[in-house]
Chain A
């Protein structure tokens, strides 16, 4: 008897009689009067930063003002002017030198400050984790209330890999002192486009 058959037989023998799944519509999840304000407050509380923009051009202006443009800054957004586009065929290990990566996000969640990115937006899976700083662009109309709304969208989604990212990489393993930039980006900016 294989381990598989053994486990399945034991489980079948042990499991109790069927209990029904609860309806997900049994309660109404939280709604916010102003989802943008809520998203901004939560993201800032977990170490991220929100920047409001009117067009993709504003991103470049912001970067020139706030970043060392001698360092490697790349994007996976084709329409983003000036910024160098990621070569998706490059070996992921070579991305370790990237100072700032700018990626698009399909939507953002007000209740917890998370943005949703699939492999399509990342092009290379390691990108949003290996860069020193991360920026994500999301449309203002794509900020939703809560995770139930999020999975209403995701349930229809096809992806090979995807991630909710909420703020910079962090740890509090040393005496519960919060430190940003554990292994991934030490900063996270979310550009919200009007």
Chain B
């Protein structure tokens, strides 16, 4: 990507050049957030559902070793082949070897953030395997050579006119037609041909049940089902934290997931895969890729409770106004900003700072992850480890010196007030990042200390 090595503030600045688009992006996501509220308020037990989900996930994380073994055993008995991948490379190699084994070089894939995290599409492209993303939003960003900007709404940053142009170029739709019904129909025809001809289908996994060895995939479009039921080989890719203990626990999570994500009462399809259909092979890849490490970080392990609903993104004032791509990670937004530094603290050191710490993300999280607290905690870890953004480090260091020495603090305050009053361009310039999009206030004549000394003196008299 051309945005390689740019930080969140730099990428957000780029996104913010088009103010009208930022407003539109902001309002669209806030509208989704409000739909979530309406759906949640219809259930008197909403908060109890969140609490129960949170406790189930706490149990899962505390007993993950045994649940993984239990799942492996039950799934194997069901006729599913279970694979284990310690990292992204191993995961990609397993997928590739399965395709080689079946001599398949064209596949369909439904939405899986894990495969995004592992860079599967790019890897398979180097092996001359053609991957078609079948979720409409993912297909749109794929045709555009991009990655999803949101985990539930992959092309939320695209306008319909632009999608019309993209489809005109790639699918041959009439130029200038930007009608969502027409464009969706065009995609349906285009993708139906893929479903009917491709021999292998990859899906993600929303929930895997330790008790029964089955897994559940949720979609609205039906693309996971169209892909898998018409293929000879189904490969399901899941992070190890996707396990839940028992089938009955699905009742809690399926009630929360779609309501939190889009305000729907449930996704159109919640497909429960137990055994391969006759004549088909069913594989599942259990992927660690940093999860066991995150599990060992006491302050951050709760991030593994995430069910990928995207509610924290829709509500986040920074996400809504900076766009998913400014996070330069597979998973954007508040949850992405606490997951990514675990994978590479240096590369993602900027992300925990892309937040106002307002706490809205934690308030909407269906599994009660303390997202904003973890963002704050990551900042401390990142600074201690020496990865904090350079300008911020310098500013913080001089601030620390000034704050620790009262005389210096008093002098600095005086000097600052004098500067703002007499030579304002020294601070009101482009070199001062704080000044961007802000007006400096008129400097007070005196500091509070000066005022207090004077007035206390006056009142005594």
Contact = CB atoms under 8 A, between A and B. Distances in A.
Interface of A: 2-4, 6-8, 10-22, 24, 26-30, 42, 46, 92-93, 96, 111-114, 119, 124-126, 129-130, 146-148, 150-152, 154-155, 159-177, 179, 181-185
A167 B65 CA distance: 38
Closest 8 CB pairs of A and B: A184-B222, A14-B296, A112-B265, A10-B292, A182-B221, A173-B137, A126-B229, A177-B180
A147 B250 CA distance: 9
Interface in B182-217: 183-185, 188, 191-192, 195-196
Interface in B136-188: 136-137, 140, 153-156, 158-160, 163, 180-181, 183-185, 188
A155 B246 CA distance: 9
Nearest to A149: B251
A169 B84 CA distance: 33
A3 B160 contact: no
- Most chain A beta-carbon neighbours within 10 Å: one of B135, B140, B188: B188
Interface string B85-114: 110001000000000000000000000000
B196 A166 contact: no
Contact of B62 (A19, A147, A182): A19
Contacts of A163: 225, 269-272
A174 B58 CA distance: 37
B62 A15 contact: yes
A175 B56 CA distance: 35
A158 to B, nearest CB: 9
B272 A161 contact: yes
B248 interface: yes
A113 B269 CA distance: 11
A17 B221 CA distance: 40
Most buried by A among B135, B154, B220, B270: B220
A183 B195 contact: yes
Contacts of B441: none
Given A169-B221, A170-B221, A16 B62 contact: yes
B265 A46 contact: yes
Nearest to A150: B251
Given A92-B230, A173-B136, 8 more contacts: A19-B55, A24-B251, A93-B196, A148-B251, A166-B265, A176-B156, A181-B185, A185-B222
B136 A184 contact: no
B52 interface: yes
Interface in B9-55: 28, 31-32, 43-45, 48, 51-52, 55
